[in-house]
């Protein structure tokens, strides 16, 4: 068994591997298609077959997938000191020998690790609910959307977001939003890769919640994404019952996919099982 950077010679094999479960591996496909320059890919190979991989994206995110027996070798290549980590639950024991959980994604609680549940929808289950007046947002709304993105990142404690990050969102994603009193108060963004779309962010300023903004922006976005793909997926915190119920109302159905997400701190000098 060996671990090596993803190279052109094995890229077809890597694509075949991630397409076995496109939901679990969506971020790998997304980074390959849209964020290759910002992403480091490491793959575990055994007898020329890929058995797992690790991604370090944009200096802040670490994703780990595949055979748990190969997790340690992959994590030995990790370079990020305090990444936002996304793993399968089975990887947690070995991951914790490399990174100490600091805090969960989302609103702070006593728990340091959050669970993300994947929900999915196809066209026949879509039930849009429009309570506000959602509009597609273009680059001329960069400043207003940027303010919402910064509020979202701050509330979720995901760290800073740069102007370049926001520009990339406009170039690569669909973004819808709703206004109140002339102010942009809610947005939803999504992207389509091959025949699957992903709703990445849905956010409403706190004082405007409970008025149908998120439901409306998400409905408009999903409608546009379903024109581009057969299915749409979204990830939601298991304990965010309000969001889960809203997504159910417009047609999302819970899948069996779950992932653990948290901010981690690298344990200096640690190796697997030490």
Mean pLDDT of 83-105: 96
Lowest mean pLDDT among 82-91, 139-148, 217-226, 239-248: 139-148
pTM across the whole model: 0.92
Query: Using CA atoms, how far apart are residues 208 and 1, in angstroms rounded to an integer?
Result: 53
User: pLDDT for 167-222, tens place per residue?
Assistant: 888 888 999 999 999 999 999 999 999 999 999 999 999 999 999 999 999 999 99
The pLDDT assigned to 215 comes to: 98
Query: Using CA atoms, how far apart are residues 129 and 186, in angstroms rounded to an integer?
Result: 15
Structure tokens at 147: 């303010």
- Give the domain 2-115+260-266 fold: Aminopeptidase (3.40.630)
- Give the domain 127-250 fold: Aminopeptidase (3.40.630)
The pLDDT assigned to 168 comes to: 82
DSSP state of 36: G
User: pLDDT for 43-79, tens place per residue?
Assistant: 999 888 999 999 999 999 999 999 999 999 999 999 9
Q: At what angle are helices 26-34 and 11-18 packed, to 10 degrees? A: 140
Same CATH fold assignment for domains 2-115+260-266 and 127-250: yes
The pLDDT assigned to 107 comes to: 75
| All structural domains of the chain with their residue ranges | 2-115+260-266, 127-250
């Amino acid at each position: 068994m060996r671990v090596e950077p993803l190279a052109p010679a094995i890229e077809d094999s890597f694509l075949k591997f991630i397409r076995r479960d496109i939901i679990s591996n969506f971020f790998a496909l997304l980074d390959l298609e849209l964020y290759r320059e910002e992403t480091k890919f490491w793959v575990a190979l055994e007898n020329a077959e890929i058995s797992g991989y690790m991604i370090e994206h944009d200096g802040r995110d670490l994703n780990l997938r595949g055979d748990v027996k190969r997790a340690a070798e992959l994590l030995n290549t990790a370079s990020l000191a305090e990444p936002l980590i996304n793993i399968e639950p089975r990887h947690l024991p070995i991951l914790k020998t490399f990174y100490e959980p600091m805090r969960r994604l989302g609103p702070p609680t006593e728990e340091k690790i959050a669970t993300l549940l994947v929900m999915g929808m196809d066209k026949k289950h879509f039930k849009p609910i429009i309570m506000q007046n959602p509009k597609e947002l273009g680059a001329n709304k960069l400043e207003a959307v940027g303010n919402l993105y910064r509020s979202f990142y701050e509330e979720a404690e995901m760290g800073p977001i740069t102007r370049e990050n926001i520009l990339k969102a406009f170039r690569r994603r669909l973004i819808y939003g709703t206004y109140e009193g002339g102010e942009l108060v809610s947005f939803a963004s999504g992207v389509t890769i091959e025949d699957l779309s992903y709703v990445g962010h849905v956010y409403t300023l706190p004082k405007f919640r409970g008025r149908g903004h998120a439901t409306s922006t998400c409905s408009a976005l999903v409608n546009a994404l379903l024109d581009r793909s057969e299915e749409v997926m979204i990830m939601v915190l298991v304990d965010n019952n309000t969001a889960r119920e809203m997504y159910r109302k417009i047609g999302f159905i819970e899948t069996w996919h779950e992932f653990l997400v948290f901010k981690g701190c690298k344990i200096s000098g640690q190796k697997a099982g030490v």
